[in-house]
Amino acid sequence: MNMHLKGASLLALMIAAGPAAAEKTINLTIASSHPTTIHWVGVMDEVFKPAVNRMLEERGSEYRVSWTEAYGGSLYKFRETLSAVESGITDIGWIGTLWESSALPLQNVTYFAPFAADDLGVVLEVMDGIQQEFPEIGRTWEENGVTFLGGAGTDSYHLLTTFPVDSVDDLKGRKISAPGVSAAWLEGTGAIPVDGGLTTYYTDIQTGVSEGTLSFATGILPTKVHEVAPYITKVNIGAMYLGAVGMNKDRFDSMPPEVQDVIIEAGKLYRDALAEEITSNSEAAMAQMAAEGAKVSEFPAEERQKWVQGLPDIAAQWVKTNEARGLPAALVMKEYIARLKAAGLTPARDWSAGIE
């Protein structure tokens, strides 16, 4: 066989084998309302996204995902995270359940059980476990057109203010940015809650709309809020379940089963990687803010307990409100507290006490 015929034969073989080996591309948009400097978005970009194609390749799948990234609010703002995924503005997005107290109230249980747990890894495992083990709870995502992929949360909340705080009484009459359901933590303190989010705190405090905020170190450092609210009082209100990565349900259902499996597994990797990253970065963020001029202090233990005991029974109120809507809020609250205790944590207040 001459070289031309041999080459032609090889080409014919390659063409014949080509279609079976060719990759099939799935185009997906991944988006967020916050920038990648915020950990729950950064981990979505750095862990979740590459994990999908890596696992597809490892499993010999013919599918690959081509990603279009739209982070930092380029497609939607922080109050539109659920609707953006539900309506298909993005295929996959970070959803802030914190701002969805009407659509996703059960996912906000941690915000109605403050001062309960500082370990974010435990909080995420407990919350994802509850949603996966009780279909009536996990179903709330699907009712909003979303397939749940992996939970997200924050390190423990503290006070950042324009004035020093040594006691609960120091908060009386002060305007404090406390978004959504976190405003309930100020009940009984005399402070005035002001709505907002990480992306608005700096300007709100700088312009006098508020005099501080309740927030967490890993979120505050990249947004530089400590520059305008330099008094950081470590109150340890607790790590919170803030939201999740979710996918438009119709889009998810249209995926081949092998791609669905990988996307679900990537969501779990996201959750675990996020907990690890936030935990390891929280104290470092606090130290860096102190190095940049913030005045960091510990809230006296007796004042913290005074704050805790001075709160109305916000857990019982939350349960009553949502049970009236036909939602299993009592189950969620009791399971959450019981599982924290089973993990070795001791809430400063047993928010499940008295709930039937």
**CB-count exposure of residue 350 (10 Å: 0-12, 13-18, 19+):** middle
Q: Is the pLDDT of residue 141 over 80?
A: yes
* Largest interatomic CA distance in the chain: 95
Residue range 239-284, pLDDT digits in tens: 999 999 999 999 999 999 999 999 999 999 999 999 999 999 999 9
Phi, psi angles (nearest 5°) of residue 56: -60, -40
How, if at all, do strands 157-161 and 231-234 pair?
A: antiparallel
pTM to 2 decimal places: 0.86
Q: Is the pLDDT of residue 233 over 70?
A: yes
pLDDT value for 17: 42
| Cβ pair 316, 322 in contact under 8 A | no
Average pLDDT over residues 304-314: 96
Return the SS3 of 157: strand
- Domain annotation for the chain: domains and CATH numbers: 25-153+240-282 (3.40.190.170), 157-239+288-313 (3.40.190.170)
Tell me what the pLDDT averaged over the chain comes to: 92
Q: What percent of the chain has pLDDT over 70?
A: 94
Average pLDDT over residues 317-340: 96
